Chain A
Amino acid sequence: MPRILFVIGISLLCPIFAPAQQDVSELLNRMKAMEERIKSLEAEVQDLKGQQSALPAAVTAAQPPSTPQQPGVAAPQRPAASVTVQAPTVTLPAAPAGLEAPQTPSGPLPVYGGASAGASKVFNPDISVIGDFLGAAGNGTPRSTPALEMHESEAGFQAIIDPYARADFFITFGEQGVSLEEGYLTFPALPAGLQMKVGKMRSGFGKVNTMHNHVLPWTDRPLVTQNLVGGEDGIDDAGFSFSRILPGPKDLFLEATGQVFRGDSDEIFKSYRRSDLSVVGHLRGYKDLSESTNLDLGVSYARGHSPLGPALLYSLYGVDATIRWKPLRRSIYNSFVSRSEFIWARQDRPTLGVAKPFGFYVSADYQLARRWFFGARFDQSQRNDNTALQDTGGSLILTYWPSEFSQIRGQLRRTSYAEHLTANEFLFQFMFSMGAHGAHPF
């Protein structure tokens, strides 16, 4: 500005200083050139501003991810997200527990409100979908299974909520409807080594009840689960769960879990009043027998009000045992797992007194090769309201894993039902997962 005023002043004095006329015209030319230059620079700035707003945000001038960071006194933080113009793929520097960097679609990302799209997506939960297609052939009466069905589609949403909690939601879509299989908040590190969960969750009764369909080693659930523990849904209710790792001798892992639920679980618990809560307790003991072999034992208890009447109770007592073998050097090729659960129930009945049915299963699975697993299961269970009725079953299972993210399974199942009916079936299953990489089942 002072320079311009100076030039203007000079030009006003032109008539007085005629000999300087040539210099003044030169200055004016230079001034015009400068104006042109300023205009062109302004246009460039506007262009850049326009491009910036069109970009999917959080565009940082970050160094390319492959560029090493120089360790210094204060470790340089990578940007929360970096997006390149050529490949707008958001990458996270470190996936939080249970989380994976979310995949983003290719192409420009939309801009949400004031926040940049990239930054907003960073906080999206991990999303996964697991498909479970089930088919059946043979005589399946009376436990009917459709010839072909998209048995379950499970959508999972998992994220860290804040420095104190994380949340997990699993919504299952069947062919008939939608249900919330689990949706809970976990406080992983409370004082005194406690962990708390609140929400709807599968209870910690035994082993099979805690497992989602896609981590079962079979296409179905054992008879004892069907007859005594509420079938596929099992004890799955809204409430609180507290657990603590207890000090055990000689590297023995001990974990105690106590849970209180509303008291509604499929066909086994029913809440008639607010005070009709159900409770579940589980004590787990685990020991590494060697580097490759370990033993997992548990005892469980559950009690709630029976669907047979508000004054009647239904109680369950369980013992579970799992032995695993997996040689570390060849862990991806060979392994063996044997599981069993023994469950006793106590059912108050309106007229016939107390029924005390019992059931169990024993199963074994051997990994033959990297992609092949062979298993067998024997299961037997009385009915929960009539111990005179007992079902017995046996299965042979062969599973093929094309990759970590899909599996194909066939199961030959023979079941002798209490009604003197025998079912011989071939069940086959295709399972596949997309989205976030979940933890491997253990």
Chain B
Amino acid sequence: MFVNKLQCFLHRAAAIFAVIGTLGVSQAASKLNVVTSTQDLAAISREVGGDRITVDSIAKGYQDPHFVEPKPSFLLKLMKADLLEVVGLELEIGWLPPLITQSRNSKVQVGANGYLDLSRYCEILEIPTGQVTRAMGDVHPLGNPHYWLDPENGRRMAKAIAEKFSELRPQDASYFVEHEADFERRLTEAEKRWDAQMGRYHGRKVITYHRSWPNFAKRFNLDVIGYVEPKPGIPPTPSHTLDVINTMKREGVKLILVEPYFDLRTPNSIASAVGGEVLVLLPSVGGVKEVNTYFELFVYDINLLNKAFAKYK
């Protein structure tokens, strides 16, 4: 009897699901629906995709991309996506995998055609060699994931994105290629200006809070000599803070670069001890309201650095 009831229940449930499924299936949108893990990827995608795509990002530029909550509301974005772009290198390991699994979207599963890991196309720095253990902090065993902060990597990402867009929407391929070429041209011109601005401060030494800046520092010839964090992901300790102060005094370093999502108390106390300054530099597009494009990100950071370097000669 119970089995009959169960069968009846299952049939009804199946019928309800089928009806809902029919209602829920939307017509294939003419625009490519792109979801990105961060706003940086969304900004570059917007440059390449123009009005032929819709793009939405999960993490905001002013939040720590390592610690994003896997909210169910993100599933609503992912379940409709044609393409998911990720930074990779385990930046999103704590929150993106469950979202992908629960998205019910076969297009964006890992390894599917609509899953694009952009780290595969970029120059990756700080890849640990030898044994990697958590005694080293929350280390990324595949390399530092903050690679988008080098315009050359931005160029590589744009190319990869244009190729993926073209593969998914062949009818718009020439549009994407054209936009990518235009992005590259404008980026090359902008780099000349940024080089002129930063060239004066070649080899300047700085302290950063987290290891977010290796690609940026390499590209613009900054010398990162220490970190406020004793190890990646480990909050500052008094003894390490003292070491940082001594290092800064010894090396004559005045600037501490801090991401917008870290507490400023320890950096401020270090800065006051050495007569220096804390700069809240943006690692991502969307870090402040006025930074909405990949270009604006570099303009903002480079202007801030220029003013600070000019102050501390």
Contact = CB atoms under 8 A, between A and B. Distances in A.
Interface of A: 65-69, 71, 73, 75, 77-78, 84, 86-87, 89, 91-101, 103, 106, 160, 163, 166, 186, 188-195, 242, 244-247, 251, 253, 255, 258, 260, 275-277, 279, 284, 286-288, 291, 294, 296, 324, 326, 328-333, 370-371, 403-405, 434, 437-440, 442
B194 to A, nearest CB: 20
B129 A89 contact: yes
A439 B97 contact: yes
B142 A245 contact: no
B109 A188 contact: yes
A94 B120 contact: yes
B101 A97 contact: yes
24 contacts: A65-B143, A67-B123, A68-B122, A69-B156, A78-B120, A87-B129, A89-B131, A91-B142, A94-B110, A97-B110, A163-B112, A166-B101, A189-B103, A244-B17, A244-B21, A247-B23, A251-B73, A275-B2, A288-B73, A328-B60, A403-B233, A403-B234, A437-B93, A439-B93
A438 to B, nearest CB: 8
A440 B163 contact: no
B99 to A, nearest CB: 9
Contact of A92 (B96, B103, B131, B142): B142
A404 B95 CA distance: 14
B16 to A, nearest CB: 9
A333 B67 CA distance: 11
A86 B131 CA distance: 11
Contact of A75 (B6, B143, B163): B163
Interchain residue pairs A-B with the least CB separation, the first 5: A192-B21, A189-B106, A68-B123, A98-B97, A97-B97
Contacts of B163: 71, 73, 75
A194 B104 contact: yes
B269 interface: no
B288 to A, nearest CB: 11
B84 to A, nearest CB: 10
Interface in B102-144: 102-106, 109-112, 117, 119-125, 127, 129-132, 134, 137-138, 141-143
Contacts of A89: 129-132
B273 interface: no
A99 B121 contact: no
Contact of B111 (A96, A260, A333): A96
Contacts of B13: 242, 258
B105 to A, nearest CB: 6
A324 B72 CA distance: 13
Given A65-B127, A188-B102, A439 B70 contact: yes
B2 A276 contact: yes
Given A437-B93, A440-B69, A98 B101 contact: yes
B88 interface: yes
Interface in B152-166: 156, 159-160, 163
Contacts of A326: 69
B72 A404 contact: no
A93 B142 contact: yes
Nearest to B153: A68
Contacts, number: 211
A350 to B, nearest CB: 19
Contacts of A332: 64, 67, 261
Nearest to B93: A437
A96 B124 CA distance: 19
Given A93-B88, A258-B13, 18 more contacts: A65-B124, A69-B122, A73-B163, A75-B120, A75-B163, A89-B130, A92-B142, A93-B142, A95-B90, A96-B97, A97-B110, A101-B141, A194-B104, A242-B13, A245-B104, A279-B9, A296-B72, A440-B67
Interface in B54-113: 60, 62-64, 67-73, 75-76, 79, 88, 90, 93-98, 100-106, 109-112
B21 A439 contact: no
Nearest to A296: B72
A71 B160 contact: yes
B3 interface: yes
Given A68-B156, A93-B117, A404-B233, A331 B73 contact: no
B238 interface: no
A403 B64 contact: no
Given A192-B17, A253-B72, A160 B122 contact: no
A183 B75 CA distance: 24
Contacts of A87: 129-130
Given A93-B117, A403-B138, A328 B62 contact: yes
B282 to A, nearest CB: 12
B260 A439 contact: no
Contacts of A191: 21
B235 interface: yes
A286 B74 CA distance: 11
A442 B21 contact: no
Contacts of A68: 122-124, 156
A296 B75 CA distance: 14
B223 interface: no
A75 B17 contact: no
A369 to B, nearest CB: 9
Interface string B178-218: 00000000000000000000000000000000000000000
Contacts of A189: 103-106, 109
Nearest to A324: B69
B304 interface: no
A78 B141 CA distance: 16
A239 B101 CA distance: 20
Contacts of A437: 90, 93-94
A275 B130 CA distance: 56
Nearest to B77: A251
A124 B132 CA distance: 18
B61 to A, nearest CB: 10
A97 B18 contact: no
A277 B2 contact: yes
A323 B120 CA distance: 39
A45 to B, nearest CB: 30
Contacts of B111: 96, 160, 163
